[in-house]
Structure 1
Amino acid sequence: MDLTRPTSQPWLEPSSYWGGMTAATASLDTPIGALNRVALAHNAHDMLDRANGTTIRVASKSIRVRGVIEQVLALPGYAGVLAYTLPEALWLAETIDDVVVGYPSVDREAIRILATTPELARRVTVMVDSVAQLDVIDSVLLAGQRESIRVCLELDASWDSPILGHIGVFRSPVHTADAARALALEIVGRPGFELVGIMAYEAQIAGLTNRPPGKPLRGRIVDWIQRSSAAELAERRGRAVAAVREIADLQFVNGGGTGSLERTSADPSVTEIAAGSGLFGPHLFDGYSHFRPAPAAAFALSVVRKPSPEIATLLGGGWIASGPAAPDRLPQLAWPQGLRYEPREGAGEVQSPLRGLAAEDLRVGDRVWLRHTKAGELSEHLTEFAVVDGDSIVESLPTYRGEGKAFL
């Protein structure tokens, strides 16, 4: 797949863009997953521009298509993968030489494989935020009986606002520079472990939309949260990194996400940014003011019945995103325009009745294009993506599921 920086933006003309996607996949039965090559290339280069020269580590949970991960890594400016489970990391590390696991693991079999395979132990770094996670690894195989395990310390990047309280996700208990230093001392003083990195994911900056549709006041509040949190984190993360560097020769300091590339790259303590969702451009990211990814990934479902002239019913559709239950977790009806869900059914497990002016024109056998709320979760419903260029399929890429993998 050619990911050269494109000179056109076909998605700005929805009728021809989605029409081309329909024409290209006309011979395929639904459900269809499609990746638009030009849109994907645009997103990959736009993310590099926004990162301002800071290396981007590809967040695999937001893609879950090995072929896409490998082809994005071939672009200058991208290096390494942030995996979401240790079994996934071991699988990816068969061909990728730098994989960091973004979350602690207690998978004993995966730990055993890592600990007894020299090449994997060299390529894979595990995440820890407590001594208890080191204990789990030692309970599988003690130092001296296994390879040295590469470790990344996770620093909590959430913001304790004096007005709003805790802002951000509940991840690591390590919040201060002193706490980071104390855990670092535990790691380096323990046989069989090598402290090589720090990660601090600022979810309240990278993953919180600041232009939510129809909620202008919320957008202004989020702007204030993100400015205030970024200033506090830059100072606190800088102190924590400096404290840990006195103890260990860190190879990387990871931060950020798709929504915070600009802010995170401005932090001098950060050496790389983890991001992946912006490559596929799910509709959750339509709600940001400072960037707008192209809708590179989408799926199509077929109309299978017309219960009345003004309703068109799709087979399937209930691919609901994780997170707080809300309308923004539903797949977005992208094309044709002018469709809406039937309120009493929504996006259903086996059927999704649609209303709107466009529904009146849809016939049995016609197709509707939808965009998932989140990037990688779409891949869990599909075995492959058709890569579309214009009105042609240029290749097909299997998802993790298509390769027989289900990691989480």
Structure 2
Amino acid sequence: MSQRYAQYQSALRQQTLPAVLVDMELFEANLRALLARSGELPLRLATKSVRCVALLREALAFDARCQGLLCFHASEAARLASLGFDDLVVAYPTVQRQPLREVCEQLRQGRRITLMVDDAAQVAHIAAVAQEEQVRIPLCLDVDMSWRLPGLNFGVFRSPVWSVEVALSCFAAIRAQRGVVLEGVMGYEAQIAGLGDATPGQRLRSALIRRLKAGSIPRLQALRSEVVAALRDAGAELRFVNGGGTGSLESTSADASVTEVTAGSGLYAPVLFDHYQAFRHQPAMVFALEVVRRPQPGIATCLGGGYIASGPAGEDRWPTPVWPAGLSLLANEGAGEVQTPVTGPVLPEIGEPVLFRHAKAGELCERFEHLLLWRAGAVQSSTPTYRGEGWHFI
């Protein structure tokens, strides 16, 4: 990547900083890799990890197996539907009336939007709005894929649907309401898809995570399969069964109950996705900060940069300087809201760009209004992020 980073830095000298650059050649290479890792299953794109309308369109048009979007907010799905996107699944539940009304309006326009549920109370709220709006809202049941061990929940606290019995209870609640219908099941294996297992300097922890993953996969696949079979036996006409994420495409696509997989972060390939033993995608997104100070020999200070990733606070959530080579953040300052000092063997001069990679994918788009799109050795165009569209959902 050194030659590519040097080219980016040269091009970014002509841009107003800070700025984000997406290498569309690497973006497309990552999409090809995600499709290859998905086997023969369709790939639903996770909007949370992209947060850019133009890049969602580009990815969907890239290959016929790219089908539908997994959104993170009901209002987001409604906005995307109003722009012509279709087959939208909302991954996180809401019972707020205004977003639900927005979804109902798009359903009336003929768009397909499926809302997530995991509790009878959610179903009742959604059904009430559906009846008021005189539409039928498709629902997807979120099945929790965590492995509960003594003293450890290996996964995330996502859904209360931990068993076939709870799933059937939720289905009964759906059938008891007018205006809603169960069309899908999702089982997102966060502990496989989103947890690195080859982190530098953490050999023992990484080995333990790999063992836990190996033990978790057959259990979560069995639960997902049992839930799907039980729901179908109970009369559910399921249109799709969704699973996966960038880090779990191989194991998810091997589950015979799954009809589609989801991925998104692998398109940009942020730093946290460098640390998987089974795959490696290309770093397609960087951001650049301007050096504005040289407070002492060995230190250059950039303007801005405090783009910290969500999750448990720690250095792995900091952005990583990648060019000039050999730079690092200072442990006692990290990445600051208004200034970020770096140190290293070769320091850029005042006014020069320093390139960084974010720890996660789409979160960086919440900080910037536009993405610079790189092709054939140059910045070819600029396109708005969700923020640039004026969209703020959470």
Question: How high is the TM-score relative to the length of structure 2?
Answer: 0.96
Q: Is the 8 A contact 1:210 1:289 kept in 2?
A: yes
- 2:152, 2:354 → 1: CA distance? 43
Identity of aligned residues (%): 42
- 2:310, 2:46 → 1: CA distance? 17
Residue 15 of structure 2 aligns with which residue? 28
Query: How far 1:165 moved relative to its partner?
Result: 3.1
Offset from partner CA, 1:74-117 (integer Å, 9 cap, x none): 12221000000000010111211110000001221111232344
Residue 203 of structure 1 aligns with which residue? 190
Query: How far 1:192 moved relative to its partner?
Result: 0.7
Residue 242 of structure 1 aligns with which residue? 229
- 1:372, 1:83 → 2: CA distance? 21
User: Which stretches of structure 1, 4 residues or more, deviate above 3 A after TM superposition?
Assistant: 116-122
Query: How far 1:19 moved relative to its partner?
Result: 1.3
Q: SS where residue 403 of structure 1 aligns?
A: coil
The yes-or-no answer on 1:373 pairing with 2:359 is yes
- 1:134, 1:274 → 2: CA distance? 24
Q: Is the 8 A contact 1:117 1:147 kept in 2?
A: no
The yes-or-no answer on 1:48 pairing with 2:35 is yes
Query: How far 1:122 moved relative to its partner?
Result: 4.1
- 2:121, 2:108 → 1: CA distance? 25
Amino acid at match of 2:78: L
Amino acid at match of 1:403: E
- 1:365, 1:64 → 2: CA distance? 29
Residue 98 of structure 2 aligns with which residue? 109
Residue 8 of structure 1 aligns with which residue? none
Offset from partner CA, 1:254-305 (integer Å, 9 cap, x none): 0110000000000000011111000001000010011111110110001001
- 1:68, 1:195 → 2: CA distance? 30
Query: How far 1:121 moved relative to its partner?
Result: 6.7
Residue 78 of structure 1 aligns with which residue? 66
Residue 91 of structure 1 aligns with which residue? 79
- 2:172, 2:317 → 1: CA distance? 42
Amino acid at match of 1:196: E
Q: Is the 8 A contact 1:210 1:219 kept in 2?
A: yes
Of the three residues 247, 262, 266, the one matched with 1:278 is 266
Q: Is the 8 A contact 1:121 1:150 kept in 2?
A: no
Amino acid at match of 1:89: A
Superposed counterparts of 1:9-408, under 5 Å = 11=1, 14=2, 16-74=3-61, 75-94=63-82, 95-119=84-108, 122-139=111-128, 141=129, 143=131, 145-161=133-149, 165-246=152-233, 247-359=235-347, 362-408=348-394
Which moved further from structure 2: 376-385 or 21-30? 21-30
Quick one: structure 1 residues 120 and 84, their matched pair in 2 at CA, closer, same or farther if it must change by over 3 Å? farther
Query: How far 1:144 moved relative to its partner?
Result: 6.5
Query: How far 1:189 moved relative to its partner?
Result: 2.9
Which moved further from structure 2: 25-34 or 273-282? 25-34
Q: Is the 8 A contact 2:78 2:106 kept in 1?
A: no
Quick one: structure 1 residues 251 and 91, their matched pair in 2 at CA, closer, same or farther if it must change by over 3 Å? same
- 1:17, 1:24 → 2: CA distance? 11
Q: Is the 8 A contact 1:211 1:287 kept in 2?
A: yes
Residue 6 of structure 1 aligns with which residue? none
Consecutive unaligned residues of structure 2, counting only runs of 5 or more, are none
Q: Is the 8 A contact 1:156 1:201 kept in 2?
A: yes
Q: SS where residue 34 of structure 2 aligns?
A: helix
Query: How far 1:142 moved relative to its partner?
Result: 5.7
Question: How high is the TM-score relative to the length of structure 1?
Answer: 0.93
Q: Is the 8 A contact 2:87 2:113 kept in 1?
A: yes
Amino acid at match of 1:379: C
Q: Is the 8 A contact 1:144 1:192 kept in 2?
A: no
Q: Is the 8 A contact 1:188 1:248 kept in 2?
A: no
Q: Is the 8 A contact 2:302 2:340 kept in 1?
A: yes
Which moved further from structure 2: 123-132 or 105-114? 105-114
Consecutive unaligned residues of structure 1, counting only runs of 5 or more, are 1-10
Q: Is the 8 A contact 1:279 1:296 kept in 2?
A: yes
Q: Is the 8 A contact 1:121 1:147 kept in 2?
A: no
- 1:249, 1:20 → 2: CA distance? 53
Which moved further from structure 2: 111-120 or 319-328? 111-120
Q: Is the 8 A contact 2:197 2:276 kept in 1?
A: yes
Quick one: structure 1 residues 105 and 31, their matched pair in 2 at CA, closer, same or farther if it must change by over 3 Å? same
Quick one: structure 1 residues 204 and 180, their matched pair in 2 at CA, closer, same or farther if it must change by over 3 Å? same
- 1:250, 1:181 → 2: CA distance? 14
- 1:267, 1:181 → 2: CA distance? 21
- 2:184, 2:194 → 1: CA distance? 22
Query: How far 1:317 moved relative to its partner?
Result: 1.0
Q: Is the 8 A contact 1:121 1:148 kept in 2?
A: no
